[in-house]
Amino acid sequence: MKSFNWNAETEKAWNERADFWHENSEHMWLKGSRKTIIPFIKSRLEEGAHILDAGCGDGYGSFLLGESGYHVKGIDISEKMIILANEKRVHNNISFHKGDLTSLQYEPSSFDAIMAINSLEWVEQPLNVLEEFHKVLKPEGKLFLGLLGPTAGPRGNSFPRLYNQKAICNTLMPWELEQLAQENGWELLDGMPVYKEDAKKLDTQNLPRILKQALTFMWVFMLKKK
């Protein structure tokens, strides 16, 4: 049986999806599930900060950060995504490079902040990536991490595991990430839910955080390196 290489399979999958992603990314960031993320970051991070966009895809989120006055390095495991980013998201404040979140090639304490939106789901060992993020952030640096919630359709990519087949999407839930981060050198500062339209009709204001997270398409964490 051919050995399964999670990172190689992830790169292959996202190379195959790159064109579809590129067709839809601008809408996602401006009007879809990611539209509140850049405003959330801008209200909590000083202009001019140096940010790593970890799992940048075709770079539209990086572009919005660059337009907002941040200095951004975008990395993605997919070479095709990086090609698209370098072709389509040209900005003086931004550079893009192929990179692996499980082994970041930056000096310790290189960044003021990290944005990682729906990228931790696609690694085999999330704790390893949190440790890499911790290493390259400056003391008290901020991590803005968006994790797919229980209602997110892309979680279906992990379904083959139920047939004892290999999958490249892990099953980490928001409340699990919260505990994992707090036990491994991170302080929770803030969080933001992203709901599907049906969930927006519900009164969630007085629900405990874990129940809010249970209803989400995505939960965006703001964590601080301790």
Question: What is the pTM for the complete model shown?
Answer: 0.97
CA distance 84 to 134: 28
pLDDT at position 3, please?
Answer: 84
The domains located in the chain, with CATH, are 6-225 (3.40.50.150)
Q: Do the bridges between strand 137-148 and strand 218-225 make them parallel or antiparallel, or are there none, so unpaired?
A: antiparallel
* Per-residue pLDDT, 149: 98
pLDDT score, position 2:
66
Local mean pLDDT, 10-residue blocks, the chain (226 residues): 86 97 98 98 98 98 98 98 97 97 97 98 97 98 98 96 95 98 98 96 95 97 98
